[in-house]
Amino acid sequence: MSAFLARARRHVGFQIGAVLLALFVGTALVSLVWTPHAVDDLQMRAKLLPSSAKYLLGTDHLGRDVLSRIMVGAQTSIAVGLIAVALGMSAGVMLGAWAAARGGWVDEALSRTSDLIFAFPAVLIAILITSVLGASAQNAILAIAIFNVPVFARVTRGAALSMWGRDFVRAATAMGQGPLGITLRHVLPNIASVLIVQATIQFAVAILAEAGLSYLGLGAQPPVPSWGRMLRDAQTYVFQAPELAVWPGLAIATAVLGLNMLGDGLRDLLDPRLRLLRVG
């Protein structure tokens, strides 16, 4: 651990990523207890105001404080991204580890299924789901989670397969341990770093996806503040208040950049030979 920290101290990208992520998570945490103004405080007389001492980033078309909404919007991004990735990761890791342990038709069937899901771009999965089930944060989470399953299944399968060929796993097999025991005791702990790195990157991808969906109106519904939705509203007023379209985008880019840099940094620090799956 101390060796890891020593190397982390020399990795600039990792540090920038960690600072940006801390800013992102910190904003969400602070917004739980404090925002400069109430998020849903409608002040129709104070709408589309430019930045001022009272409203640091100005106000939106309903006179709500933009800074407060961006702070609370961080909560939405984290909640949707984290739950979606956690769900997709749990299912994907289980399926991938199963495919690697069983091989044969299980492996073949799972690989073909993940090819099939890859043939559908994530936005289309989301569109299909929301067109049938309705637009909501839950359905956006479901759509992003479904897209994450094959990503984690593939990464887990590949990494687990290489573990199954290693001597210590063969020794465990020879000693009569079952596939489930070996997977839990030997395979998963040894591929944890790959999964952590992939999860960081997928969190970034999920935040982008959530922003895109809520921009289309398919994500979190009003009055819940979400960065994508703020951009959609801002676009209507692009001639009156152009800066409204700047802040939410900067927030998304900062959060995603932080996670991407942290993920790349973690990969360098944990296992430089690792190749990430990067699709979004």
Partner 1 sequence: MIEFLSRRLAAALVTLALATVVVFAVVEVLPGDPALIMLGTDARPDTLAAIRAQYGFDQPLLTRYLQWIGGLLTFDLGNSHAYGTSVGKLIGDRLQVTLPLGALALSWALLVAIPLGVFAAWKHGGPGDWGVMGLTQIGISIPNFWFGIVLVLLFAVTWQFFPAGGFPGWRQDTLGSVYALILPALSLSLGEIAILTRVTRSAMLDTLREDYIRTARAKGVPERTVLFEHALRNALIPVMTVTGLIAGFLIAGAVIIESVFRLPGVGQLVYDSINNRDLIVIKNVVILFTILVLAVNLLVDLAYALLDPRPRISA
Q: Interface with partner 1 by CB under 8 A: which residues?
A: 13, 112, 115-116, 119-124, 127-133, 135, 204, 208, 211-212, 215-216, 218, 228, 231, 234-235, 238-239, 242, 245-246, 248-249, 252-253, 256-257, 260-261, 264, 278-280
End-to-end CA distance of the chain: 32
CB of 168 to partner 1, least distance (A): 30
Using the minimum distance from each CB to partner 1, give the nearer residue, 24 or 152.
24
CB of 47 to partner 1, least distance (A): 19
Amino acid letter, 28: A
CB of 199 to partner 1, least distance (A): 17
Using the minimum distance from each CB to partner 1, give the nearer residue, 155 or 234.
234
- Please, which residues have CB within 8 angstroms of residue 133's CB and are 6 or more apart in sequence? 139, 142
Looking at 103-187, list the stretches that DSSP marks H as alpha helix, in order from N- to C-terminal side: 104-119, 122-133, 137-164, 167-174, 179-182
Using the minimum distance from each CB to partner 1, give the nearer residue, 12 or 38.
12
Using the minimum distance from each CB to partner 1, give the nearer residue, 164 or 237.
237
10 Å CB burial of residue 94 (0-12, 13-18, 19+) is middle
Using the minimum distance from each CB to partner 1, give the nearer residue, 72 or 252.
252
CB of 122 to partner 1, least distance (A): 7
CB of 217 to partner 1, least distance (A): 8
Looking at the chain, list the stretches that DSSP marks H as alpha helix, in order from N- to C-terminal side: 2-10, 12-33, 66-102, 104-119, 122-133, 137-164, 167-174, 179-182, 188-215, 227-236, 247-270
CB of 104 to partner 1, least distance (A): 17
10 Å CB burial of residue 160 (0-12, 13-18, 19+) is buried
Using the minimum distance from each CB to partner 1, give the nearer residue, 147 or 187.
147
Across 132-156, b (16+ Cβ under 10 Å) vs e yields eeebebebbbbbbbbbbbbbbbbbb
